[in-house]
Each structure stands twice: as structure tokens, then as C-alpha cells.
Amino acid sequence: MARPLAIAGARLLLADAVSPPTTLTVIDGRIAAIGADAPPHARAIRAEGLLLAPGLVDIHGDAFERQVQPRPGVDFRHDLALIDTDAQLLANGITTAFHGVTLSWEPGLRSEAAFRAFVAAWTGLRGELGAEHRIHLRLETYAMDQWPAAEAAIASGAVHLLAFNDHTAEIARRAADPARAARYADRSKISGTEVLALAQAMLARADEVEPFVARAARVARDAGLAMASHDDASPEARARWRALGCTICEFPMNAATGLAARAAGEHVVMGCPNVVRGGSHLGWHSAEAMVRAGAADVLASDYYYPAMRHAAFALAARAVCTLPAAWAMVSANAAAAAGLADRGRIAAGLRADLVLLDDRRAGAEVLASIVAGRIAWLSGRGASLLA
């Protein structure tokens, strides 16, 4: 039995309010008590003046790709990338991360070989990393030939969420412009002309996509996976994905689509960097506007891990919603979308995934990240709080 942990003097970020300073006790990986005296043999964290919040649940993040390929054409092993990513997650208060691993017809960074390498690295590192790492399979709808690798990963339990992506026509359109083709050429390690030829060859197989997607969705449903659709352009498109069992709407292209999904009781995901920066870097819909309209209820790191906590504080500072409501978008709501009922909130009996913050400082400094009751990461200041 692990030694109990007592976090004393912190304000707790609860579902509907911030509590007065109190003591939270963790026993055997779960929140055992709030406001009660801790066991005398408990390990203590002196948290006076600090904010204790639920650990962040990142339902969609692909920033790990920068650890795999930090420069165009320069690759590192996936296990090294995951180890480095783990440190970044914990330093930013992310205790559960769904890595958006794309399986595409493209060679290079998003190829079948790269997907297999990621799954192998994840499998080899299970139980050795600080955060809980999960795989969010971003399946390109034209990746028919690569599907057996995905199906095997699903069967092995390595995939935890399946999202359908359709970027093939966009890649073909951009690859036709030599100035824009470089992005795809760099990550694929082939020329822009070759990328265009591959994309066009795939588009010629458009009649295979619908039956393939239906088959993949059936496999995911049978495996009990949560499913998402990506970049839905209209309520009608969302309805088609809903019929396949996709209960998560990722990055809808407009508020009408997000509102239709929310009206159907579905979760709508937008990006935290969009909130922090005040708009999409691609000129697409504003995440803050979606939240204000009630058209989004989950925020994800997307491509930048630090944005998660900053987005929650930004929404509260801009009076878009209260801090508890904003934090739910990066914790409780994200956990619910992924089917994880045991985390994302501070309540007795739940898994003790927690982040200790100094919200008096700019940027709400992360001092400690606690995963399943274990102190997984401490900053220099955080280490000084241990009793």
C-alpha cells in the first residue's frame, strides 16, 4: 500500500466553485477525503495560497510529432519522443494525454511504418511514464491499404479513440502549388510532385471510401471505442457521422455544426491554442466564439501543450465563463467525451489526477502534477513544498 498523501492549505477547483483553503487526502491512488485530518503518517505537500485543480485531460494532441521529427527530414526514435513528451505533458499539468497519431496513405511522418513504430514504443513504455498516455488514432478516410495495421492495433487494445479525417483532397489542392507543397514533401520525405501524384491516385479511389469507413466504424464500435469526426462542415455532415456512431465532433467548421452536435448531446472539441491566440492560425472559426455560443464544450492542446491551462484562465479572464466551467472543458468534459468517468473532477472516490498551480503568478505556474495519487512531476518550487 502506497503512503497516503495530504495536500494541505490549497484552494480546490471544484465543479462549480473554488473552495476555501482545505486539506485533500489521497489514499491508494484515489481522493479519500476533503477537509478531514490527514493520517499522521501521510506524506505532506504544504500548498497554502495555491490552487489544486483536476489534472488536464488532453483528448487531441499531436505536438509529440515535433519530438519525432524536430526538423524536416530529421527523425528520432518514437520511444525517445514519448519519453520527452511525457516530461512536457507533466510540466504543463496534463495527466491524461490522447496522442493524435495519424495513419495516412502518405509516406514519412504519418505513414503506416510510423504508426507501427508509435504503437510499439507506447507498448514498450507502458507503466514507465509519468502521465497516462493513450492513442487517438486519426484515420485518414483514404487509408484503405493501411487499415490492417490499425485493425490489429485496435484488437490489441492499443487504440483508445478513433477519429475519421479526410485531408486527401486538401493535400492534393495544396500540393499542386509548389510553394505550399513543401510542407507535405518535408514530412513525407518525397518531392511535392510525388505527393501530388499520390494524392491524385488516392482520389481516383473515392468510390472505396464510404464502404471502408463503414467497416472501420463497425470495428471501432465492436471494440467499444469512442469515435470522432473531424472538420465537419455542416449539420448534415455531422448527422452522417452520428449515424456511424461518432459521438465527438472535432473542430467543426462553423457554429451551426457545433450547435447541432451539442443539441444531440454530443461533445464538440476545439483547440486551446485558438483560444490563447485569439483566433485560428489558419483563419478558421474562433474557438472562443464557439464557446460563447454554446457550440463547444471541450478544449484540447491540438499542437501546443502549454495552451491548455492558459486557455482555461483566458476564458475566465475574458468573462466567457467561470473558471470552474472553463477548467471543465480541459478536464471533466474531455474525460466524459473519452468515456473516462474516473477523472477530470475533484471528488471523493475519484482517481487522484491533480495539478497544483500558483495562479497568483502570470501563466499559472505548474508546481506539481499528481497521477493516480503519485507525485509524477515537481518543479523546483514544488519540491520545496514537500514536508
The per-residue pLDDT for range 69-107, each reduced to its tens digit, is 999 889 999 999 999 999 999 999 999 999 999 999 999
Residue 310 in contact with residue 349, Cβ under 8 Å?
A: no
What is the mean pLDDT of the segment spanning 7-15?
98
List CB contacts of 86: < 8 A, sequence separation 6 or more.
129, 130, 131, 133
What is the mean pLDDT of the segment spanning 352-381?
96
Within a 10 A sphere around the Cβ of 35, how many other Cβ atoms? 12
List CB contacts of 97: < 8 A, sequence separation 6 or more.
58, 61, 85, 89, 131, 132, 133, 134
In the predicted model, is pLDDT for residue 156 greater than 90? yes
In the predicted model, is pLDDT for residue 321 greater than 80? yes
In the predicted model, is pLDDT for residue 159 greater than 90? yes
In the predicted model, is pLDDT for residue 368 greater than 80? yes
In the predicted model, is pLDDT for residue 354 greater than 90? yes
In the predicted model, is pLDDT for residue 279 greater than 80? no
Q: 3-class SS at 192? A: helix
Q: How confident is the model at residue 130 (pLDDT cuts 50, 70, 90)?
A: very high
Q: How confident is the model at residue 182 (pLDDT cuts 50, 70, 90)?
A: confident
Query: CA separation (Å) from 56 to 95, 280, 322, 345?
Result: 6, 22, 17, 10
In the predicted model, is pLDDT for residue 347 greater than 80? yes
pLDDT tens column, 324-340:
999 999 999 999 999 99
C-alpha cell at 90: 507533466
Question: Any alpha helices (H) in 42-95, and if so which ranges?
Answer: 65-68, 78-91
Q: Which of 2-11, 177-186, 211-220, 279-288 has the lowest mean pLDDT?
A: 279-288
Residues 333, 134: Cα–Cα separation, whole Å: 17
In the predicted model, is pLDDT for residue 268 greater than 70? yes
Q: How confident is the model at residue 285 (pLDDT cuts 50, 70, 90)?
A: confident
Residues 247, 227: Cα–Cα separation, whole Å: 6
For residue 68, give the nearest of 53, 56, 83 by alpha carbon.
Answer: 83
What is the mean pLDDT of the segment spanning 374-384?
97
Residue whose C-alpha cell is 495552451: 307
Query: Residue 185: which H helix or E strand, with range?
Result: helix 178-188
Query: CA separation (Å) from 13 to 26, 273, 344?
Result: 16, 22, 11
Per cent of the chain over pLDDT 70 is 99
Q: In this structure, is the dihedral angle defined by the CA atoms of residues 173, 177, 180 and 184, taken in order, positive or negative? A: positive
* End-to-end CA gap in the chain: 20
pLDDT tens column, 209-250:
999 999 999 999 999 999 999 999 999 999 999 999 999 999
Q: Tell how strand 248-250 and strand 5-12 pair up.
A: unpaired
Q: What is the pLDDT of residue 200?
A: 97
C-alpha cell at 320: 466567457
Comparing 146 with 73, the larger pLDDT belongs to 146
